[in-house]
């Protein structure tokens, strides 16, 4: 069984680079892994539901890539089924680069990351832009995440391949962890959190040792 991930990413030029740098044998081992990487596992679905942002990469008709960060309420990127994702696209800077790229090529990649656990999920997908007026039940489901931002359209991703991994090279950013911890702390203890907050940096450093 050939993995869809390597079918998409291990092009002839990539294989040539692997040969040049002595990594082709390792590449063959990755190709031989017997696994379903065309649909999301339960753990991957939970990982997506816990995210409040991700990076979206698209490519235009001239072959130039474009990457942007999309954020929203936790869980705004919805798992519609094991092979389909979608979200309500809020009004941004009104340049519509990602939207135009998707309309032109229909391809996208999503990169979701959790810095504290050094975990990441990479997704390759066929993408489609849908107007709110054409969404029906889909529009209701994707806009249910709420928020005050203006929803302009729906984006749907049909997963072609995905890869979940934990990477030691990803730094567990202390400022991100501190922000999350402080928000939750103040919800629990109120103003007393200002006192406790002074000790958080040292605590976070200890957790990384």
Q: Are residues 134 and 40 in the same domain?
A: yes
pTM of the model: 0.79
Top-confidence residue, 23 or 196: 23
Q: How confident is the model at residue 118 (pLDDT cuts 50, 70, 90)?
A: confident
Q: Are residues 59 and 158 in the same domain?
A: yes
Alpha carbons within 13 A on the beta-carbon side of 177: 18
Residue 204: the pLDDT is 53
Residue 68: the pLDDT is 95
CB atoms within 10 A of CB 109: 20
Mean per-residue pLDDT for 2-29? Answer: 94
Q: How confident is the model at residue 205 (pLDDT cuts 50, 70, 90)?
A: low
Q: What is the pLDDT of residues 51-94, one digit of tens each?
A: 999 999 999 999 999 999 999 899 999 999 999 999 999 887 88
Least confident of 51-60, 148-157, 192-201: 192-201
Work out the percent of the chain whose per-residue pLDDT is above 90. 60
Measured between alpha carbons, how far is 86 from 76 in angstroms, rounded to an integer? 9
Measured between alpha carbons, how far is 163 from 78 in angstroms, rounded to an integer? 18
Encoding tokens for residue 111? 């990169």
Q: Are residues 90 and 120 in the same domain?
A: yes
DSSP string for 56-114:
EEEE-TTS-EEEEEEE-STT-SEEEETTEEEEEEEP-SS--HHHHHHHHH-EEEEEEEE
Mean per-residue pLDDT for 131-141? Answer: 86
Q: Are residues 73 and 21 in the same domain?
A: no
Q: How confident is the model at residue 188 (pLDDT cuts 50, 70, 90)?
A: low
Q: Can you give the CATH number for the domain in which 86 is found? A: 2.30.110.10
Q: Are residues 1 and 73 in the same domain?
A: no
Q: Are residues 125 and 113 in the same domain?
A: yes
Helix axes 174-189, 200-207, angle to 10 degrees: 130
- Give the chain's mean pLDDT: 85
Least confident of 40-49, 105-114, 126-135, 181-190: 181-190
Q: Are residues 113 and 135 in the same domain?
A: yes
Q: Are residues 51 and 85 in the same domain?
A: yes
Range of the domain at 94: 36-166
Residue 104: what are its φ and ψ, rounded to 5°? Answer: -80, -45
How many folded domains does the chain comprise? 3
- For residue 96, which of 53, 58, 45, 135 has the smallest C-alpha distance? 58
- Give the DSSP letter of residue 205: H
Measured between alpha carbons, how far is 34 from 21 in angstroms, rounded to an integer? 25
């Amino acid at each position: 069984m050939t993995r869809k991930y390597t079918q998409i990413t291990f092009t002839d030029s990539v294989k040539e680079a692997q040969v040049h740098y002595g990594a082709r044998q390792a590449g063959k081992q990755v190709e031989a892994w017997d696994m379903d990487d065309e649909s999301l596992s339960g753990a991957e679905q939970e990982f997506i539901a816990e995210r409040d942002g991700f990076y979206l990469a698209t490519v235009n008709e001239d072959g130039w890539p474009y990457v942007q960060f999309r954020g929203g309420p936790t869980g705004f990127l919805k798992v519609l089924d094991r092979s389909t994702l979608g979200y309500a696209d809020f009004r941004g800077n009104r340049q519509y680069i990602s939207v135009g790229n998707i309309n032109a090529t229909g391809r996208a990649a999503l990169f979701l990351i959790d810095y504290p656990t050094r975990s990441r999920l990479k997704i390759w997908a066929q993408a489609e832009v849908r107007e709110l007026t054409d969404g029906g039940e889909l529009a209701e489901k994707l806009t249910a995440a709420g928020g005050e931002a203006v929803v302009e359209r729906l984006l749907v991703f049909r997963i072609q391949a995905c890869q979940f991994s934990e990477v030691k090279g990803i730094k567990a950013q202390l400022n991100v962890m501190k922000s999350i911890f402080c928000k939750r702390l103040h919800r629990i203890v109120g103003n007393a959190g200002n006192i406790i907050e002074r000790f958080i940096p040292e605590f976070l450093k200890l957790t990384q040792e």
